[in-house]
Structure 1
Amino acid sequence: MVSTRRRYLRGVGVGSALLVGSAGCLGRDPQNGDGPNGDGLNGDGSGGDGANGTRPEGTGGPGVTIVSVDGLDDFPVSPAVEVVREAATESAPPRLRTVLENTSDETVTVGEGRAVHLEYVSDDSGDLVFLPAEGEFPAEPGCWRLTDTVATTQEYRTIDIDAGGSSERLIDLYATPGEDACLPVGEYRFETTVSIGRPDSEAGPSGTWSLTILLE
């Protein structure tokens, strides 16, 4: 269950609704075709050799590898991340799935509901940002650099997670607006805050968790 309350956003990477640019560029193959992504979602699976011949056929590269998921030790929820679409294609950016598991024996309420799943959260350098997979955002196909700033509504959302249950989201990876900024290779770290309790109740504990990825 997701509830909302209109107010200013809290949490690392969320209070800044406008995304700013970076530099760097990536070679990509313009050919593409349709094929499975391994999650029931369609993507590109045929075409050229990818970036410099190192990526799977039909991909524009680079590929995403999860380096580490850290934080929220001794917390009632535990984060996990998996790669859904490893490399960018002409029709879709790289995609990950974030999961928050309730490890306690009672229902917990977490917020801010978007930030806890890394939605609208930028990496430490501001070069990359995760956006909801179901959204439509101004970006160059194949390059997946945002061509304009992206704003979020100023509200604080919460998610109820049943005891032993979990909450999950699909998130897509974009480069932030900037000259010649496709998805630049390198290692990137994203950090966000998880707070327990509703915004209109007594504040509960909060903690941070981080995701480090490698683009190559």
Structure 2
Amino acid sequence: MSDSRWQTLEQHPELSWARYKVPNFASNCMVLKHGDGQWTVLSPGQELLDNWPGADDTVTTLNIVMPNGFHYMGVSAWQARYPNARLFASRQAIARLTSKGLRNILPLEDGQLALPADYQWLLPPGHRAGDVWLCKRSEHGNLWITCDSFLNYARYSHQPVARLLQKTLNAAPGLKISQVVKWFILTQRSAFKTWALQRLADFPPQLLLPSHGELDQAANLAERLQQLLERRL
């Protein structure tokens, strides 16, 4: 069954994403198709379960990735539908996720989750929540899928509590590093900043898909991210 919330890019047809609601905020779920019946889901949203791109597929392999210690709310529902799904997260995030009742989480650092060609996992240092990024090198434009390290809401939320938090925390509108990430999530801001600037130099993105907000697709994206890191951290 199709769902108009799901989006894809012509240059990256293996990747789809859709927005779902968590308390006071909107979040993105990303799904990556490896081959026939083989899927990886990042930050699964319960409300998307019936209409995700693999819903009508014969799913033989499902990997569920929690891209940090806070992105777990829809996981139990997906596990109930797909009991053979494997759970993955960064080592940094696993302790918190286990405290939320999730079990048998495999660390991405062990390399047990193979990715399609040109994709790779990146794990930022100095990040209390254990953020995980999924990145792709491509002649059509390098793609970064990040978690909470960056936000890109096009406007302030219409929801009063969310709007107040966004204004207070400088979390919208546009490309942002929120005050929460700066002061409470990043335990080593200098290490994170140095690492992120080096990744920008290694393979500058032309597309950014954060867990919260809109796709940012621009030729000057890497320059804007560099300026954001320099200014905020």
Return the TM-score normalized by structure 2: 0.22
Q: Comparing both structures, which one devotes a greater share of its residues to helix?
A: 2
TM-score, length of structure 1 as denominator length: 0.23
More strand by share: 1
Relative contact order (C-alpha < 8 Å, sep 6+): which is higher? 1
